[in-house]
Amino acid sequence: MDTLTDLLREAAVVVGFTGAGVSTESGIPDFRSPGGVWTRYDPRSFELDRYVADASVRRESWQMRREFFATSVAPNPAHRAFAALEGAGRSPGVITQNIDGLHQEAGSRRVVELHGTAREVMCLGERPVGAPDGCGWRSPYTWAFERLDAGEDDPRCPRCGGLVKSATVSFGQQLFPGVVEEAVGLVERADLLVVAGSSLQVYPAAALPLHALDHGARLVIVNDEETPFDDVADLVVRGRAGEVLGPAVTAALS
Ligand code: APR
């Protein structure tokens, strides 16, 4: 903890890179820990081409999203730590793989959402292959829940009749244009990359820590289990993101 506080204090430009593990203390399960989402649902069911081809996959996805939003969740000290660093002028922003919008709720103004956001829905078009091919319509996710409550179990785009999905990046779907470039731009400005709550198994996201090291940044990993990058990190803190980052950032900014 003292080393982490020192690294945060000495760094001129801290960039955060987070995964689902920063939201578990807010009550949202991660994906690969025991009890995680992919231990209860088959990820192949949620590939883009399955979603496009199979109305039952769309119905199951809407059901999952309703469960996700049914549990009232709030940011935890990990989200607030990154927002505090940005608010203190020590961080240009945070890159996240998460789709829950909790970094924004905690006050982070610059959040690069590598895998999109569940807080919005978007038009996919009629037969998208590998990427949305819709009319550009987007709306808050509540629009979809209102349609579902009105009895439509497969809501369609109100503008062009295309398929509708949350504005997230599914397996088999390309990342949204410009997002990786924005994340790389942040990483290249960092002299300290703080990775928190990620198993670092999904690419291209998991390539970012190495890119930071290649650009001379120091790498800290805060995670409650091993990651493939522990041996190249300058510091690994084995612990809960909120319990570690909250106090460390408070101390570093005091
Ligand atoms: N504090 C610290 N680490 C935690 C905490 C916590 N409170 N809770 C969980 N972890 C750790 C887990 O041990 C695990 O190593 O966070 C990591 C979460 O890993 P994953 O569940 O694989 O989540 P993530 O790395 O974000 O997955 C990446 O995979 O399924 C896709 O698109 C999805 O964005 C996701 C991507």
pLDDT of the chain along its 254 residues, tens only? 999 999 999 999 999 999 999 999 999 999 999 999 899 888 888 899 999 999 999 998 998 888 888 888 999 999 999 999 999 999 999 999 999 999 999 999 999 999 999 999 999 999 999 999 999 999 999 999 999 999 999 999 999 999 999 999 999 999 999 999 999 999 999 999 999 999 999 999 999 999 999 999 999 999 999 999 999 999 999 999 999 999 999 999 99
Domain check: are 88 and 211 in the same one? yes
Please tell me the pTM assigned to this model.
0.96
- Strand order, beta sheet including 138-140: 138-140, 116-125, 163-168
Strands 163-168, 111-113: pairing is unpaired
Which of 130, 151, 168 is where one domain is finished? 168
- Supply the pLDDT for residue 67: 82
pLDDT at position 41 is: 85
Verify that 84 and 123 share a domain, yes or no. no
Rounded to the nearest whole angstrom, what is the distance from the C-alpha of residue 87 to the centroid of ligand 1?
25
99, 45: one domain: no
Using H for helix, E for strand and C for coil, what is the string for the chain? CHHHHHHHHHCCCEEEEECHHHCHHHCCCCCCCCCCHHHHCCHHHHCHHHHHHCHHHHHHHHHHHHHHHHCCCCCCHHHHHHHHHHHCCCCCEEEECCCCCHHHHHCCCCEEECCEEEEEEEEEECCCCCCCCCCCCEEEHHHHHHHHHCCCCCCECCCCCCEEEEEECCCCCCCCCCHHHHHHHHHHHCCEEEEECCCCCCCCHHHHHHHHHHCCCEEEEEECCCCCCHHHCCEEEECCHHHHHHHHHHHHHC
How many whole angstroms separate alpha carbon 64 and alpha carbon 41? 10
In this prediction, residue 199 carries a pLDDT of 97
Q: Are residues 143 and 189 in the same domain?
A: no
| Ligand 1 neighbour 54 (Cβ under 6 A) | no
Do residue 180 and residue 214 come from a single domain? Answer: yes
CA of 205, closest atom in ligand 1: 28
**Of the candidates 202, 188, 193, 250, the residue with the CA atom closest to the CA atom of residue 222:** 193
Domain that holds residue 251: 1-27+74-115+175-254
Report the CATH number at residue 121: 3.30.1600.10
Number of structural domains (the chain) is: 2
Q: Say whether both 102 and 121 belong to one domain.
A: no
- For the packed helices 2-10 and 241-253, what is the interaxial angle rounded to 10 degrees? 50
Residue 44 CA to its chain's centroid (Å): 19
pLDDT for residue 73: 92
The reported pLDDT for the residue numbered 251 is 98
Cα(196) to ligand 1 centroid in Å equals: 9
The residue out of 168, 201, 232 marking a domain boundary is: 168
Q: Are residues 188 and 207 in the same domain?
A: yes
Residues contacting residue 177 through CB under 8 Å, at least 6 positions apart? none
Q: Are 30 and 23 in contact (CB under 8 A)?
A: yes
Q: How many whole angstroms separate alpha carbon 55 and alpha carbon 184?
A: 36
| Ligand 1 neighbourhood includes 79 CB (under 6 angstroms) | no
Let me know whether 126 and 238 are in one domain.
no
* 245: amino acid identity, one letter: L
Residue 46: predicted pLDDT? 83
Is the beta carbon of 170 within 6 A of some atom in ligand 1? no
Residue 117 to residue 120: CA distance in whole angstroms: 6
* Whether 211 is catalytic: no
> d(Cα 76, Cα 105) in Å, to the nearest integer?
10
Q: Are 236 and 223 in contact (CB under 8 A)?
A: yes
Claim to verify: residue 104 and residue 180 sit in the same structural domain: yes
Cα–Cα distance measured from residue 123 to residue 61, given in angstroms and rounded to the nearest whole number: 15
CA of residue 221 to ligand 1 center, whole Å: 12
Residue nearest to atom 5 of ligand 1 (CA): 21
Binding site membership of 117 for ligand 1 (Cβ less than 6 Å): no
Q: Is 29 in the pocket of ligand 1 (CB under 6 A)?
A: no
For residue 169, which atom of ligand 1 is closest to its CA? 32
User: Ligand 1 pocket check: which of 115, 201, 202, 221 to mutate, most ligand atoms within 8 Å of Cβ?
Assistant: 202
Pocket test for ligand 1, best of 33, 46, 68 (most atoms within 8 A of CB): 33
